[in-house]
Amino acid sequence: MIKVLDSFVADKIAAGEVIERPVSAVKELVENSIDAGAGSIIVEIRNGGKSYIRVTDDGCGISFDEAETAFLRHATSKISGITDLDNIVSLGFRGEALASISAVSRLTMVTRRAEDMSGVKIVLHGGRVVSKDRTGCNKGTTVIAEDLFYNTPARRKFMKTDAREASSVIELIQQYAVCYAGIRFMMINNGITLFTTDGDGDPYNVIRMLYPTIAKHGLLHVENEHVKGYVSDPGSTMNTRKGQLFFVNGRLVSSTVIEKGLEEGYHGRIFSGFPAAVLFIEAEPCDIDVNIHPGKQEIRFLRQDEVKKDISEAVSTAVMSGSGIPKGFVRSIEKTLEKQLNIPAQQKDETEQTSIREFLKNLDRHDPYEMPETVETSAAAEVTETMYVPVSSPAEAEPEVIHKPAPFDFADLVFKGYVFNTYIIMQSKDDLYIFDQHAAHERVFYEKFMRGYNNSAHSPQPVLTSFTITVSNDVYSMSGEWLGDLIRMGYDIEDFGDCTFIVRGIPPYMSAGEAEGFARGYAEATGEAGGSNKVVIDKLITRSCKSAVKAHDVLSEHEINDLMSELAKCDNPYSCPHGRPTFIRISSYDIERSFRRK
């Protein structure tokens, strides 16, 4: 017999699509508060939000008469007709959130409009109104959702541990606090206030407070017509995309178009890891489709290429202003190229550049290095590559990336110089070698670490002065998932409260500096990877090694020799743990050819 579903059943089914986890409920409630014009929003959760979620705002409130209507499916004050869908400016618009949350919890809403003498308290269980009374209360709205999914056991099973659910909620609130820097956000977890932002309207203050790991990446200011925010210096990347926050019209979104635009803005200067970025993007409401996912996280741009270009240009400007290379240097290389390629000298600058690029594009060669988008904005590393752009016999004249050319004898190498505080120049009889000190150090550290980890007793070696590491709130709340690993690796590390851990002992196979960077990198990477099986741990170790090693530490010749002999001992001296080459080779023949001696 075919039956029309009872509306409460239908709500429970539909709710699953919108409200998957506590964090989805929190997201909807916070968005309602923002839409209500709140200046202050308090979010409180217990047990990861499973047993208790409270969102309190000082927004416009709801009248006594409309309090019940708000819980009806498709009841919304935000759109009225189908044409409105093209011009969505508020965060919520489906009129489903309150209906969905109330369908799967025991919900209490207390609300009052400024103009009303008294407020209203309405209680719903599983979507049914249990009581509705007038009450005295502050202006604004409080929604309390308890025992989430108490009546949908199947859904309950999909929830993760309390710590993980809490972490997602905290992360979400951190993100909104950055995006809506003009709103004061308070986050309370299991009775403890984790943070309160100023609400002074400056996102940078919030980033500094809630994302110290992003802020320390030397943020550069991005500003053009539609794209504003901050990006990290190309030299400092993070292990995960967690340092990337994109907001489109005030909505936190994920979008591969934005990710690509961001990446392109660096013109290939990011070798491993991800840049940190907080970008606020404005788009015409009619140019975006926010309706493709019930959780609304994913966004589709109708003019993808334009958006990507806008972002990459804005990022590029910021990155170049931060650490661009002198124009004269690039131009002299261009001039050389121009001569080599026999391009008529009288052409104007722009055409010169284009024709060089065109020419190179048309050369039928399999270039592992793509030409930079614009020659002017290319980085030092790329210029090196450009310098060796071939004259007549392209494929041979390129610097060759060495993939295990065994046997390779480090003993043949003679130290010749050290440039850009990063690259070590060595020479053998017939070849010139350029070593990347950072990649080499990463490789050395990684192998030393793995050997130590596999062979030593892992008993911590006490440090003279203990040090502390501070992590973000979301990482802190998941310490159960990474702290134990560090202790097993040989750390004497202990929770010191307030997102801080004190380290009194370090693994015997690390220096203090390495140990600090590694622990921090490991904690940060855990949130992304999840789980704790061996493969994941290996991956985390690989990633975290990067944090243990600093670029641009100026090395003495003595240290360079040490690094070389350490590298020579490695099982795989040819690449860093992330697969970047540790050194490249340029043969004397290549050099002579470039000077047309051969």
User: Binding of ligand ADP at residue 62 (CB under 6 A)?
Assistant: yes
Q: How far is the CB of 28 from Mg ion (least distance, A)?
A: 5
CA pair distance 224, 228, nearest whole angstrom: 6
Site for ligand ADP contains 36 (CB under 6 A): yes
Q: Distance between CA 545 and CA 445 in Å, rounded?
A: 7
- Give the per-residue contact string, 67-96, with ligand ADP (x = CB under 6 A; - = no): ---x----xxxx-------------xxxxx
Nearer to Mg ion among residue 75 and residue 163 (C-beta)? 75
**Least Å from the CB of residue 147 to ligand ADP:** 20
**From the CB of 140, what's the least distance to ligand ADP, in Å?**
7
Whether the Cβ atoms of residue 183 and residue 62 lie closer than 8 Å to each other: no
In single-letter form, the type of residue at position 208 comes to R
CA distance 51 to 29: 16
Does position 43 interact with ligand ADP (CB under 6 A)? The reply is: no
Number of residues that bind ligand ADP (CB under 6 A): 23
- 102 near Mg ion, rule: CB under 5 A: no
Q: How far is the CB of 98 from Mg ion (least distance, A)?
A: 7
Q: What residue is closest to ligand ADP based on CB? A: 92
- Within 10 Å of residue 216's Cβ, how many Cβ atoms? 12
Give yes or no for residue 97 binding Mg ion (CB under 5 A): yes
Which of the listed partners (ligand ADP, Mg ion, none) does 62 bind, with a CB threshold of 5 to 8 Å by partner kind? Answer: ligand ADP
Contact partners, residue 268, CB within 8 Å, separation at least 6? 370, 372, 379, 382
Neighbours of 459 (CB within 10 A): 10
Beta carbon nearer to ligand ADP, 95 or 372: 95
Q: Which of 32, 56, 141, 544 touches Mg ion by CB under 5 A?
A: 32
Rg (CA), the chain: 29
Q: Does 47 bind ligand ADP (CB under 6 A)?
A: no
Are residues 507 and 491 in contact, defined by beta-carbon separation less than 8 angstroms? Answer: yes
DSSP-derived secondary structure for 380-404: HHHHHHHHT--SSSHHHHSPEEPS-
**Piece of 9-17, 29-37, 291-299, 555-563 that binds ligand ADP (CB under 6 A):** 29-37
Indicate the residue among 31 and 474 with the shorter CB distance to ligand ADP: 31
Identify residue 424 by its one-letter amino acid code.
I
**228 lies in the binding site for ligand ADP (CB under 6 A):** no
Q: Which of 16, 48, 59, 265 binds ligand ADP (CB under 6 A)?
A: 59
139 to 198, contacts with ligand ADP by CB under 6 A?
141
Peptide bond before residue 577 is cis, with ω within 30 degrees of 0: no
Contact 230, 277 (CB under 8 A): yes
Min dist CB 517 to ligand ADP, Å, is 43
Q: Identify which range of 31-39, 308-316, 540-548, 558-566 contacts ligand ADP by CB under 6 A.
A: 31-39
Burial string for 494-519 (b: 16+ CB within 10 Å, else e) reads eeeeebebebebbbebbeeebbbbbb
Give 78 or 504: the residue with its C-beta nearer to ligand ADP: 78
Nearer to ligand ADP, 78 or 539 (CB): 78
Q: Which is nearer to Mg ion, 91 or 523 (CB)?
A: 91
Distance between CA atoms of residues 200 and 195, nearest Å: 15
CA triple 532-538-543, angle to 5 deg: 105
> How far from the centroid of its chain's Cα atoms is residue 522's Cα?
15
Nearer to Mg ion, 94 or 458 (CB): 94
CB 360 within 8 A of CB 378: no
**CA 594/CA 598 separation, integer angstroms:** 8
Please give the residues from 95 up to 124 whose contact with ligand ADP meets the rule CB under 6 A.
95-99
DSSP-derived letter for residue 274 is: B
In which order are the strands placed within the sheet that holds 583-587? 400-401, 583-587, 431-436, 423-427, 414-419
Closer of 61 and 261 to ligand ADP (Cβ): 61
Is there a contact between 245 and 297 (Cβ–Cβ < 8 Å)?
Answer: no
Nearest to 392 by CA among 329, 322, 342: 342
Stretch that binds ligand ADP, among 59-67, 129-137, 192-200, 295-303 (CB under 6 A): 59-67
Contact residues toward Mg ion (CB under 5 A) are 32, 92, 97
Residues that bind ligand ADP (CB under 6 A): 28, 32-33, 36, 57, 59-62, 70, 75-78, 92-99, 141
